[in-house]
Amino acid sequence: MNADLHCHSFVSDGTLSPEALAARAKANGVDLWALTDHDEVGGQQRARDAALAAGLPWLSGVEISVTFLDVTVHIVGLGFDPEDAALHAGLVATRGGRTQRAQDMAAGLEKLGIKGSYEGALQFAGNPELISRTHFARYLVEIGACRDTQSVFRKYLVEGKPGYVPHRWASLQDAVTWITQAGGAAVVAHPARYRFSANEEYALFTEFKKHGGLGVEVVTGSHSSAEAARYAEIAVEFGLLASRGSDFHSPEESHADLGTLPPLPGHLKPVWEALADRVLQAA
Ligand code: AMP
Ligand code: MN
Ligand code: MN
Ligand code: MN
């Protein structure tokens, strides 16, 4: 099964429309697809309609920003009811701090002489409620501050750099509960990215399970093959289902394209098998 259950459209910080992503997934041989915009389900109906029209089996998706032990952790939700009211309210609250944060980021950059970056970043945001560091990165590339978005992150937008503003996102318990109560499966996204100590990581997976979390991304565009092997072990140790997703954002910026990752290790239980009754496909 070529499942790709993690990517972004211009409804968050991707550059393509939900329709273009569905077509790209189909063309790349994906046979189960989810669009997982950050903190937002506004693209789900378009994704579903485009997937069904293309004959591409589809699951609902979202990627929720969480603060755990003062670190930003991402929790992917799959196969939930996209109309669920409590999930909507939770996502509205999670998005709510982004505008102020972006203005504070712009103030930090202004001290370096970079003017107007809030307005500049907004021009790259398809959804102004979802202004993100990625939009700042694109703007800073446009004005020639760096040659690519990766360099912008390294130089300006990660912890300790002038455009970085600490932010408190949703709690782990809230995010897992919103997804689960809406009928979906919660999955820890790209765990190798967080650079937790072994004890901190143990705490993350223990609490995640306690609150009803079901899965972990093992194969993702953010993991090396060694990291995938490590989180395959974690999946077994914690009794978690395994997920796979490219985290594709843009043809220009993303190194992993939709549907091109290696398969999950064969001994793991895929999260999509537990979600078979939530998959929508054309009759
Ligand atoms: P935000 O939610 O505003 O903090 O933005 C987070 C997004 O920035 C992530 O979802 C990635 O798309 C992007 N991102 C984070 N770190 C990096 C990095 N080092 N290089 C490129 N993009 C990054
Ligand atoms: Mn992103
Ligand atoms: Mn993420
Ligand atoms: Mn993502």
pLDDT band (50, 70, 90) for residue 283: confident
pLDDT band (50, 70, 90) for residue 124: very high
Residue closest via CA to ligand 1's atom 14 equals 134
pLDDT (tens digit, 9 = 90+) per residue, 193-251? 999 999 999 999 999 999 999 999 999 999 999 999 999 999 999 999 999 999 999 99
**CATH architecture entry for 98-157:** Orthogonal Bundle (1.10)
pLDDT of residue 179: 99
Please report which ligand is nearest the Cα atom of 253. 1
pLDDT of residue 256: 97
Where in the chain do CATH 3.20.20.140 domains reside? 3-94+168-278
Where in the chain do CATH 1.10.150.650 domains reside? 98-157
pLDDT of residue 65: 98
Tracing tokens 């689960």 back to the chain, one arrives at 180
Q: Does any ligand 1 atom lie closer than 6 A to the CB of residue 149?
A: yes
pTM over 0.95: yes
CA of 130 to the centre of ligand 3 (A): 14
pLDDT (tens digit, 9 = 90+) per residue, 59-86? 999 999 999 999 999 999 999 999 999 9
pLDDT at position 3 over 90: yes
- Ligand 1 pocket check: which of 101, 127, 132, 138 to mutate, most ligand atoms within 8 Å of Cβ? 132
Share the mean pLDDT of the chain: 98
What average pLDDT does the segment 126-132 reach?
97
Number of the ligand 1 atom closest to the C-alpha atom of 98: 3
pLDDT band (50, 70, 90) for residue 282: confident
Nearest alpha carbon to residue 168 among 108, 92, 98, 88: 98
For 3-94+168-278, CATH number out of 3.10.580.10, 3.20.20.140, 3.30.390.50, 1.10.10.60 equals 3.20.20.140
